[in-house]
Amino acid sequence: MRALRLFKTLLFLAAIGFGGVLLYGYARSHPENMPWTQLDLAQPVGAFTGRKLAELTGDKGEKCQALLRRAGVRFNALPPRQSRSQCGYDDAVRFQSGGALDVAYRPRDLGTSCPVAAALALWEWHVVQPAAIEHFGQKVESIDHFGSYSCRRIYGRSEGSWSEHSTANAIDIAAFRLEDGTRITVVRDWTAEGPRSRFLHDVRDGACKLFATVLSPEYNAAHRDHLHLDQAERGAWGWRGCR
């Protein structure tokens, strides 16, 4: 009996060791799916990428900007801005043309918090451009937006919670322009039949893996003409809103 118990113990330990080797090998080849690995914008989107992006919020941009540089994203760091106690930013960046990004944002003076910029880069590489190739056979050349920073409360109310726009931690996406000039808009094409609607739904669904909050026309009438994307800090703790 003692020999049998010893054999079972050794077998159990061997199974644990073998499992550990397998886990180590998987972690080395798929670091994006491991909760303990550092975020790398050059890696594919993994199971914990969204949480790691949200955790960048509040680091004053230093770690986030280093990630953008390593990924080949060209940008200018914006000077801190303080409008009132609830508004302003100290980690905002503005994309430069060239580098690792193919799309231009219109209007051109877009500035967002660095965590939003990092998520936008991954969104372009792994969601927007693949969806455009799938549905239209060509890439997106530019993205139209309604802006990022706005010192206001949610929905512009006079009281209540402050919007993520008040710290440049959100962006509202209105339309996409393809290489041949075709323009796909949220307000016109979200409920239309065909590839335009499917493209918009795909880029919304893909954004949900990268942003803490994603709101589309399916959420309410206030979002009938845009996709709201933000990196609210609550996303770092696992809360994610996608609709």
CA 216 distance to own-chain centroid: 15
Residue 78: both structure tokens together: 């914006």
Count of other CB atoms within 10 angstroms of residue 164 = 24
Q: For the purposes of burial, counting CB atoms within 10 Å of the CB of 96, is it exposed (0-12), middle (13-18) or buried (19 or more)?
A: exposed
**Angstrom distance (rounded) from CA 37 to CA 23:** 13
**Angstrom distance (rounded) from CA 202 to CA 125:** 14
Residue 72 lies in a domain: yes
**Which band of pLDDT confidence, cut at 50, 70 and 90, is reported for residue 29?**
very low
Shared domain check, 94 and 11: no
Considering 16-30, 58-72, 119-133, the range whose residues carry the highest mean pLDDT is 119-133
What is the average pLDDT value for the chain, to the nearest integer? 87
- Classify the C-alpha dihedral 29-66-61-119 as positive or negative: negative
Shared domain check, 182 and 91: yes
Shared domain check, 135 and 22: no
> How many separate domains does the chain show?
2
CA 175 distance to own-chain centroid: 17
**Angstrom distance (rounded) from CA 11 to CA 51:** 37
Ramachandran category for residue 203: left, alpha or beta (phi over 0 → left; psi -120 to 50 → alpha): alpha
Q: Tell me, what's the pLDDT at 26? A: 36
Per-residue model confidence as pLDDT tens digits over 188-241: 999 998 999 999 999 999 999 999 999 999 999 999 999 999 999 754 444 568
Shared domain check, 56 and 8: no
Shared domain check, 136 and 31: no
Q: Tell me, what's the pLDDT at 5? A: 60
Per-residue model confidence as pLDDT tens digits over 102-117: 999 999 989 999 999 9
Name the phi and psi angles at 151, rounded to 5: -75, 90
Residue 22 lies in a domain: yes
Per-residue model confidence as pLDDT tens digits over 67-82: 999 999 999 999 999 8
Shared domain check, 123 and 5: no
Shared domain check, 172 and 135: yes
Residue 202 lies in a domain: yes
Shared domain check, 109 and 72: yes
Q: Which long-range contacts (CB under 8 A, 24 or more apart) does 51-56 make?
A: 51/235, 51/236, 51/238, 53/115, 53/118, 53/119, 53/122, 53/210, 53/211, 53/231, 53/235, 54/115, 54/212, 54/231, 54/232, 54/233, 54/235, 54/236, 55/236, 56/114, 56/115, 56/118, 56/231
Residue 164 lies in a domain: yes
Count of other CB atoms within 10 angstroms of residue 16 = 10
Residue 42 lies in a domain: no
Q: What share of the chain is helix, strand, coil (3-state, %, to 5)?
A: 40, 20, 40
Shared domain check, 106 and 77: yes
Name the phi and psi angles at 161, rounded to 5: -65, 150
The domain containing residue 22 runs over which residues? 1-37
Residue 222 lies in a domain: yes
**Which band of pLDDT confidence, cut at 50, 70 and 90, is reported for residue 4?**
low
Shared domain check, 92 and 10: no
Residue 236 lies in a domain: yes
Shared domain check, 100 and 31: no
Count of other CB atoms within 10 angstroms of residue 231 = 30
Shared domain check, 206 and 107: yes
Residue 43 lies in a domain: no
